[in-house]
Amino acid sequence: MLFSLLYAIVLYPIVYIFPAYAANGAPVLFGGGKPIDRKRKINGKRIFGDNKTVRGLVASLICGIAVGLIEYPFLHFMLPIAILLAVGANIGDLAGSFIKRRMNVPSGRSVLILDQYGFFVVAVLLAAPLGHLPGLYGMIFLIILTGITHILTNVGAHRLKLKKVPW
Ligand code: CTP
Ligand code: MG
């Protein structure tokens, strides 16, 4: 009883969202180099900015899908979901940067909610049609977890000198 509740609200939601987390975290470790927008501008403002790199995007897709491949033997449906989560996480992340640049926010400067939840919302929306979504309480848990994880990983990455700023 207690275990099945714990599984439904904590464990399964983490397994479900993990490809998106991997996709979001990988660029911090493996990113860098040429920017995706090749320094192009729209109305004098960068499309995505220097911090969205081709290497980061490729690493993100590989890591997100790799998590899906690891989960696949246990949960067959997680592979296609992981692919959509990884693609969605990147669309959300790039859309966030695109919006920040339109608002004249420099690369790396934080915008609350957009930074923490952009990747998450688009990843879940893209994967949702395939079903197997966590239930309401599981999703609420994930919303809280995503906020906390974002704060902890960014402070950690800053301390490890992987990121210039702690957010
Ligand atoms: N990163 C990357 N390529 C990507 C996404 C991220 O190389 N496609 C790396 C960059 O080094 C970036 C770091 O991961 O600085 C953290 O990513 P994120 O917080 O999403 O970007 P920001 O630096 O905050 O830039 P922006 O203002 O555009 O959101
Ligand atoms: Mg950021």
Q: Any idea what DSSP says for residue 112? A: T
Q: Please give the distance, rounded to the nearest whole angstrom, from the Cα atom of residue 75 to the centre of ligand 2.
A: 32
Answer whether 35 contacts ligand 1 (Cβ < 6 A).
Answer: no
Evaluate: CB of 31 within 6 angstroms of ligand 1.
yes
Domain residue ranges in the chain: 2-159
- 41 three-class SS: strand
H-helix or E-strand containing 42?
strand 41-42
Residue 42 pairs with which residues in a beta bridge?
Answer: 45
Phi/psi region, residue 89 (left: phi>0; alpha: psi -120 to 50; beta: rest), is alpha
Regarding the beta carbon of 118 and ligand 1, being less than 6 Å apart is answered no
Is the distance from CB of 82 to CB of 71 less than 8 angstroms? yes
Residue with tokens 């490890």: 160
pTM: 0.96
Cα 67 to Cα 82: distance, rounded to the nearest angstrom = 7
Cβ of 97 less than 6 Å from ligand 1:
yes
pLDDT truncated to tens, each residue of the chain (167 aa)? 899 999 999 999 999 999 999 999 999 999 999 999 999 999 999 999 999 999 999 999 999 999 999 999 999 999 999 999 999 999 999 999 999 999 999 999 999 999 999 999 999 999 999 999 999 999 999 999 999 999 999 999 999 999 888 88
Nearest-CA residue for atom 12 of ligand 1: 51
